[in-house]
A and B are shown apart, each in its own frame.
Chain A
């Protein structure tokens, strides 16, 4: 397994750089990774969906879809696109220390 080291903290990642162990995640690391993917400042609005994703996936075992973020978490999908332009599902999973949403191939 490849690893990534930021701020003297090492964590295991997959080939695309996603955390493979959710327990190695922290908000400090997420804030640094956010800069690397072009999000200059993580506001409370940015954090709220990430926290929901972590709580939800701890229960279900899968990263929630955008639809579930709206239906269960109460987040507006359009707003998520504004916060995380282009690929919100992928970017948020990356920053929340979770696997990206996948199909079976």
Chain B
């Protein structure tokens, strides 16, 4: 998406190379629907090369390290690739090995599954189909995670799924979070708190996982709490790419520290980062990467021309939240503003309801798949501003 935008913005004699270890571009929002059989695994994968504009070179190679002093990328095969400017867009990777006991054969892909990988989501599909009742834990290891609402959506969709199979009464669903609740912001908590109760989904909050006990099939927290499960759906610790860590470019989780407004590395002026790969304090979500692109393109152009970086990203993010039963919510927020109520994308007219449940939002979420492949990736304009507008939105009430 960024490469396509840069190709349009930069002169023809600037060469742009995309390096990736495979040619499989995944529509990751689709992972959520795979376990429930609504999407097939094949549906979410397409060629990377095919998404790139003419004039963008695609190099299918793994990256082993970046040497920021010498301005080269070291490839897995041993070759070196020199750069004038480097944009790191290597996302996040779930790391189940970071939770002791989780990869034990008695647990992993037997009674414990993730859905943040396509093979995990596909394996979970079979596990759900064979599940006839018991304790289901939907668990987040630690923040930050990619698409932070996905586990909540999973819990809502699981409720729906078991209801349709007429075994909901035999399934005990608990949402397990390291945060102090399923909804951590007061305005969302007030607007949405009842959704979990309505669906008889329990919440175990402040759960800082220490390990998984494969023998008792429980997850154990540092404070001694142990929650038994028949099926554990976990979001493993999310970390940045290994080459980022090995290059010394990452923080403790392997995310690239960048200025949160300009997206440039404070340590290396020829390195920028975008999307989930950065440490910026907003959601790790596709919408963020999308909104960041315009700013990064402008800043990179300025950097190339030796000018001060003009463009300031404000942390704008939005997302649809599937709440099951054919409905969804829409959230819109940035670094400084909590999720707002109101209508989107056109003030007052809508048609989408912010922070409210509606059938139209659900259809919006489904329609997004086509928008993603046909408008977003090729870099066609989308009628949504990258900086957040307060028009027509109702700020959360502040007391006092």
Contacts and interface: CB of A to CB of B under 8 A. Distances in A.
Interface of A: 1-3, 14-16, 60-62, 65-68, 71-72, 77-78, 81, 85-90, 100-105
B142 A67 contact: yes
B143 A61 contact: no
The 8 closest A-B pairs by CB, nearest first: A2-B400, A105-B188, A102-B184, A62-B281, A104-B283, A71-B252, A104-B148, A103-B148
19 contacts: A1-B398, A2-B399, A2-B400, A3-B400, A66-B208, A66-B222, A68-B253, A81-B222, A85-B223, A87-B206, A89-B179, A101-B184, A102-B179, A104-B333, A104-B339, A105-B184, A105-B192, A105-B331, A105-B339
Given A1-B398, A1-B400, A14 B186 contact: yes
Interface string B150-180: 0010000000000000000000000001111
Contacts of B400: 1-3
A5 to B, nearest CB: 12
A105 B208 contact: no
B238 to A, nearest CB: 11
Q: Which of B192, B206, B317, B319 has the most chain A CB atoms inside 10 A of its CB?
A: B206
Given A62-B281, A104-B317, A105-B339, A87 B180 contact: yes
B281 to A, nearest CB: 4
A83 B177 CA distance: 21
Contact of B281 (A15, A61, A65, A67): A61
Interface residues of B, number: 39
Contacts of B208: 66-67, 77, 81, 88-89
A103 to B, nearest CB: 5
B321 A100 contact: no
B183 interface: yes
Q: Mostly helix, strand, loop or mixed at chain B's interface?
A: loop
A104 B149 contact: yes
B184 A65 contact: no
A1 B192 CA distance: 23
Contacts of A62: 281
A104 B152 CA distance: 11
A62 B281 CA distance: 6
Q: Which of A66, A67, A68 has the most chain B CB atoms inside 10 A of its CB?
A: A67
Contact of A77 (B177, B184, B222): B222
A88 B400 CA distance: 28
Interface in B309-324: 317, 319, 321
B252 A68 contact: yes
Given A77-B222, A81-B223, A86-B223, A105 B281 contact: no
B271 interface: no
A16 B186 contact: yes
A103 B399 CA distance: 22
A65 to B, nearest CB: 6
Contacts of B180: 87, 89-90, 100
B210 interface: yes
B279 interface: yes
Nearest to B285: A104
A62 to B, nearest CB: 4
A87 B143 CA distance: 16
B48 interface: no
A2 B283 CA distance: 27
